[in-house]
Amino acid sequence: MDVRIGIQNSPRELGFETAQTAAEVEQAVAAALAGQAPTLRLSDDKGNVYLVPAAALAYVEIGSEESRRVGFVA
């Protein structure tokens, strides 16, 4: 699933693909915004870990869980 995170005062967004479900990502974002966690912690398919301070979150875009099709579809 694709995840894109906008960070305040930063012209670029953070984008990566993760094996986590949409519900898991949404729970992590909700916990960070509610003040239960000081940072948003997510990991990508390659094992990299991303930590974003909850106070710096501008937006989080959660993509669909469907895999992309490759090739021609009849």
DSSP letters spanning 10-32: -SSEEEEE-SS-HHHHHHHHHHH
Among candidate residues 31, 5, 36, 33, the one with its CA nearest the CA of residue 18: 5
Query: In the chain, where are the structural domains located?
Result: 2-62
Structure tokens at 63: 């993509």
pLDDT in tens, 16-68: 999 999 999 999 999 999 989 899 999 999 999 999 999 999 999 998 766 66
CA–CA dist 60, 3 (Å, integer)? 7
Contact 55, 17 (CB under 8 A): no
What's this model's pTM, rounded to 2 decimal places? 0.80
Structural domain 2-62, CATH architecture: Roll (2.30)
